[in-house]
Structure 1
Amino acid sequence: MASATNDPSIYKGPVGPLRHRCPQCTATGPKLLRCSGCRAVRYCGRDHQVAHRTMHKSACTKIRKARAKVAEEDHRIRNATPDFMTPANAFETDVGHFWGLVHTRDYMRARFDLAEQLLQLGTFDGVTEALEHMRDMLRLCRGDNLGLRNIVPAIMLRLDLDQECYDFVKWWATCDPDGHYDWGDTTLPYLNIRGADVLEDPGFLLGKYAALNHVIAVLLLKLKLLVDIRSLKITRKILARRRLPLELWKQIELEAIRSPLSAKLQKESPESLLKLEAKLLNHIRQLGTTLVKVNQHFMFHLFDPDEALSAKPMAFSFGSWEEMALAMQNSYAAWWETEGVLDLLKDARACAARDSENEIEGMMESETFRSGAGSRRTAEQLLADVSVNRIWGYLDYAVENASYLGPWSERPSERHTRENRESWERAAREEAELEASLDEEEWSDSE
């Protein structure tokens, strides 16, 4: 969601699950005092509320005004003077068609603005209420003229509503395969998918015209599950060295995972976890490849998002930088808060960079590079580009690294890099020896 403050920091709160948390300290819990103004920020006590007042005052005022505006527009709709274009109370007569009634649009815009202000707080209460507003707005306007379907999945992931996120995305991706769904017919099924298999093949999202925000959401969800598998593997390795009661063992495992869907993984054997890991890696590679096809800018800016998070695109075309910026604003908080995912991708990129160093000089000397639009790039810039493009091929090594508890120098990716470098050096020696032998043959022939 586009930032009204143009400040990237609003997308970068505490890493980890959203919780009721005092913004002045580390105190957490549902019994914290709630701000009576915005009702979306909590404090451990009066002292910290007063101390935070200067920082919170502006946002609090905006939210209070936004709530008042929603209440005003709500009252206007419920008490409208009926005519041939305006029902007496659209909340009773036109649920599902709100945007089609001109006099409801100010209400929908006001509610969207309130949801946006709440999201920018980054608090558990704010994000939860924003999702409630958006879900209800979709109920009121099935056609989703405000594009809420692009924003909701990432919010669900932030709240660990992972199954709901997947069901939501799958419904939108599969609801109208032939273009004949009647959005005005409220008797038709709507957002009715429940309990879809998150581990199924993501083929329904891999088309040429896949929705960028939905590809991002499912990709992040599967990465989230992959990180949970890694956490389970590490936890089991550590606990195997201790003698603990089974109940305590299971409780520790439960604390190590993030997604509610991963609770089922506790029952899996090590062999089954490895199979699930391989399956998820395959799905992630497919989704990553699709993501690049749908918008080539996203992965590059995921590692350096501030420019995109600060942008205020007024419009976009598919595949454009502006589309990426909006998608980044919709999803980056979810990426940031899902602990371990960005680190995993950064390690995969680092693995790709180490393996690609030997190729950069040859790439820069090629005719294709020298005649291309990017010929002014430095070796460092080219390596950065290449490493991002190769992330998905190196994710396996990053996953192995993340589950490895031995010396850094013996991490799977380090061993692979050494082997790869030795292979390059061996190939270079063999090529040099071959050239030398050919030179000798030419010399002897000339004599």
Structure 2
Amino acid sequence: MVQIVHSAHLPAAKVPYTDFKGPRGSLKHRCGFCLEPKSKLSKCTGCRAVRYCCREHQVQDRPGHKSVCNRIKRCRTKLDKEDHAVRNATPDFMTPANAFETDVGHFWGILNTRDYMRARFALADSLRRLGTLDGITEALDHMQDMLRLCRSDNMGIRDIIAPTLLQLDQDQECYDFIKWYATEGRRGDYDWGDMDLPFLNVKGANVLEDVGYLEKEFQVQHVSTVMLLKLKLLIDIINIKLARKVAAGRLPPELWARIELYVTRSPVSRQWVGKPYQAITTVQQKLELDVKLLARTIENINQNFVHMLLDADDYLSELPESYSSGTFEEMLLVLQHSYGAWWQHEGVLELLESARSIARKDSEDEIEDMMSGMTFENNPGSDRTKDELLHDVSINRLWGYFDDALEDATSLGEDRPSEVKRLRLKAEFEAAEEKERGFISSDDENDD
């Protein structure tokens, strides 16, 4: 059982729902009131993490912004106080005079640094939850420096850093970060107290390499973040293909690359801009395979993941006090740490929802037959409705229809390929049943 170090400003069981659903797409400096991205914005002097395009908008936003602004100011004041206490501590056999000079890397192991680390986490978490470019950037700076101060990461900061890097489109850095923890960081002989050992030194790892090494990673946050990265790249591949389909025959090929660069988000995806269609299809197939392998790995770690991710509105307001690996409470924490990144990446949740929708349609007749059967009627719990059963079945079968969702996403036709396929297979099945009934009827006549 792991106890959770909460941000000081949050109650134990509830968090603001709006923390997780801000503007979608790449982070930009936006007005905190009208949300319009503009080049000239004035920063709030209180929280220093929200900007406004004019004085009028700042005044209009004040009723909603006041509480969070004051909260962040209190967090900054508290951090300054704890910082001063660590730097000017009265030394004794347990307390250094200034741990910032003598014990970098070992914070939290020294008792008088813990209030400082808690205060810094409270500030970082408050800034992160704002969802602004300023807030998330500063939060990442704080959290990365906290890892420098405490390599053993007793507070679990690494679980929040990974999805935060994706929010800032530092995708290569995110993958390198996770790969280090999943490889070097899992070595049983790694001495976290030896500051001379390499730390987070994986650079430029191949994002398309086999993901089998993650099967031994037991941190659902890191595995799911790699899956989000792969899905992010898949969406870019889809957008490249759609842009090329639209541009083909209308624009000269030399302009295609400019358009494709515009419709991609990840810096990693730029390497595929302008590449031959078959080459990017090969990349797509590799990413698709990786996503499904990672989904299987996540299922082995925590079976609640997909259910709670796709129905996140039911869970985002809950914050657990503690958790164990594989539990419902663990997934509550994962959502708290990463849902903002999932929400922000346009197309990702939609792709998963599309796969779920296709699975649901394809399962409707089966569920109806099952519910009308005697086995179901005599089974305890058979009072569940068709919608409830379809909800669960569609999520359980989601990954089996992931290919169909991708095909739909890359199609420009009015008819969705998955629906055409479903109706064709249904017609073939009904025709086969009709043919079988004909054979049976013929046999009966012959018997007579």
When the two structures are superposed, what TM-score results if normalisation uses the length of structure 2? Answer: 0.93
| CA-to-aligned-CA distance 1:250-285 (integer Å, 9 cap, x gap) | 222111011111111114210001111111110011
Change (3 A) 1:181 1:351: same
Change (3 A) 1:363 1:210: farther
Q: What is the identity, as a one-letter code, of the residue corresponding to 2:385?
A: T
Match of 2:57? Answer: 48
Q: Aligned residues: percent identity? A: 51
1:298–1:328 Cα contact (<8 Å) kept:
no
Matched, 1:234 2:234: no
The counterpart of 2:81, out of the listed 44, 69, 72, is 72
- Unaligned 5+ runs, structure 2: 1-5
| CA-to-aligned-CA distance 1:16-47 (integer Å, 9 cap, x gap) | 11110002224324531000011000000111
The counterpart of 2:232, out of the listed 203, 207, 224, is 224
1:355–1:420 Cα contact (<8 Å) kept:
no
Matched, 1:423 2:418: no
Matched, 1:330 2:337: yes
CA shift for structure 1 position 426:
2.7
Question: How far apart in 2 are the matches of 1:69 and 1:84?
Answer: 26
1:285–1:393 Cα contact (<8 Å) kept:
no
- Aligned pairs for 1:433-444 within 5 A: 433-436=438-441, 444=448
The counterpart of 1:432, out of the listed 425, 429, 437, is 437
Change (3 A) 1:380 1:245: closer
CA shift for structure 1 position 424:
2.6
Matched, 1:382 2:389: yes
Change (3 A) 1:150 1:370: farther
Task: Specify the SS of the correspondent of 1:99.
Answer: coil
Match of 1:215? Answer: 223
Matched, 1:33 2:42: yes
Which range moved further: 229-238 or 300-309?
A: 300-309
Task: Specify the SS of the correspondent of 2:169.
Answer: coil
Change (3 A) 1:171 1:30: farther
Question: How far apart in 1 are the matches of 2:445 and 2:332?
Answer: 60
Match of 1:137? Answer: 146
- Aligned pairs for 1:250-261 within 5 A: 250-261=257-268
Change (3 A) 1:374 1:11: farther
Which range moved further: 383-392 or 136-145?
A: 383-392
Q: What is the identity, as a one-letter code, of the residue corresponding to 2:423?
A: R
Match of 2:93? Answer: 84
Match of 1:263? Answer: 270
- Aligned pairs for 1:144-223 within 5 A: 144-207=153-216, 210-223=218-231
| CA-to-aligned-CA distance 1:301-333 (integer Å, 9 cap, x gap) | 222212211112101121111111111111111
CA shift for structure 1 position 56:
0.6
Matched, 1:16 2:25: yes
Task: Specify the SS of the correspondent of 1:309.
Answer: coil
1:353–1:383 Cα contact (<8 Å) kept:
yes
Q: What is the identity, as a one-letter code, of the residue corresponding to 2:244?
A: R
The counterpart of 1:399, out of the listed 397, 401, 406, is 406
Change (3 A) 1:349 1:190: same
CA RMSD, aligned part only? 2.0
1:308–1:329 Cα contact (<8 Å) kept:
no
- Aligned pairs for 1:297-336 within 5 A: 297-336=304-343
Match of 2:108? Answer: 99
Q: What is the identity, as a one-letter code, of the residue corresponding to 2:342?
A: W
Match of 1:344? Answer: 351
Task: Specify the SS of the correspondent of 1:145.
Answer: coil
Which range moved further: 308-317 or 248-257?
A: 248-257
2:256–2:274 Cα contact (<8 Å) kept:
no
Match of 2:68? Answer: 59
Task: Specify the SS of the correspondent of 2:15.
Answer: coil
CA shift for structure 1 position 374:
4.9
Question: How far apart in 1 are the matches of 2:405 and 2:438?
Answer: 36
Task: Specify the SS of the correspondent of 1:170.
Answer: helix
2:177–2:202 Cα contact (<8 Å) kept:
yes
Change (3 A) 1:345 1:19: same
Question: How far apart in 2 are the matches of 1:412 and 1:277?
Answer: 18
Question: How far apart in 2 are the matches of 1:373 and 1:183?
Answer: 52
Q: What is the identity, as a one-letter code, of the residue corresponding to 2:157?
A: L
When the two structures are superposed, what TM-score results if normalisation uses the length of structure 1? Answer: 0.93
Question: How far apart in 2 are the matches of 1:276 and 1:363?
Answer: 40
CA shift for structure 1 position 50:
1.0
| CA-to-aligned-CA distance 1:394-446 (integer Å, 9 cap, x gap) | 11111111111112x3x2111111122113313432443455456557x64xx
Task: Specify the SS of the correspondent of 2:259.
Answer: helix
Question: How far apart in 1 are the matches of 2:199 and 2:150?
Answer: 11
1:131–1:155 Cα contact (<8 Å) kept:
yes
Question: How far apart in 1 are the matches of 2:286 and 2:54?
Answer: 48
Matched, 1:275 2:282: yes
Matched, 1:357 2:364: yes
